[in-house]
Amino acid sequence: MSLKYVKSKRATSFFPVQSGRFSRLIPVVGMLVFILVFVIGCGGNSTNKTPEPYFPVQKEFQTIYMQSLLTGGKLAIDNAGYLRAGATKGVLIIWPYGYSLKIEGKNTWIINDKGQAVAKVGDAVELTGGFVDASVVEVIIGHALPTDAVGPYWVAAPLKSNQ
């Protein structure tokens, strides 16, 4: 059995069409499929979105805290995404048990264990607590610090609510 090629007057593309309207639609649909696959493959996220700051928290509730006072520093997020008190090379704060971050638009709030906002990035804060070494921080937070999370490290006592 042999196959013969029969020339058809109606078929001018892969799909038999009767008008040029359908053949003009094929590239448009193909481009839309390509864009959809690209967006899904990229996760639909903007590459400019900054990650949430690193926020180390004590793994257990404490009843006794060191009583030194850290003053004169504003809360800031450095270029590596670490929340610090002071300038770019300020202290990396180890927050009390139950504390968390809340990001609303351009504002980043520190939330205490009762759900109250106690500070905001950009605020000048006075923190009770004390300095510790990296090895102590890892015990306090229950895991290793990221390799680029350099000290000094400050273990903070609970902050009073501004509300």
Reported as type and span, the H/E element at residue 21 is: helix 20-41
Tell me, yes or no, whether 124 lies in a domain: yes
* Residue 48 main-chain phi, psi, to 5 deg: -85, -5
Alpha-carbon dihedral of residues 12, 13, 14, 16, nearest 10 degrees?
Answer: -50
pLDDT digits 0-9 by tens, 75-103: 998 888 889 998 667 899 999 999 999 99
The C-alpha angle with vertex 109 and arms to 142 and 107, in degrees rounded to 5, equals 130
pLDDT at 37: 65
pLDDT at 46: 47
Tell me, yes or no, whether 56 lies in a domain: no
Tell me, yes or no, whether 29 lies in a domain: no
SS3 150: coil
The rounded mean pLDDT for the chain is 79
Structure tokens given for 84: 């610090």
Tell me, yes or no, whether 13 lies in a domain: no
Tell me, yes or no, whether 161 lies in a domain: no
Question: What gap in Å lies between CA 24 and CA 114, rounded to an integer?
Answer: 62
Tell me, yes or no, whether 89 lies in a domain: yes
Tell me, yes or no, whether 81 lies in a domain: yes
Which domain covers residue 137, as residue numbers? 68-156
pLDDT digits 0-9 by tens, 123-154: 998 889 999 999 999 999 999 999 888 889 99
Model's pTM, two decimal places? 0.66
Number of structural domains found in the chain: 1
Question: What gap in Å lies between CA 38 and CA 66, rounded to an integer?
Answer: 53
Tell me, yes or no, whether 151 lies in a domain: yes
Residue 158 identity: P
Residue 108 identity: T
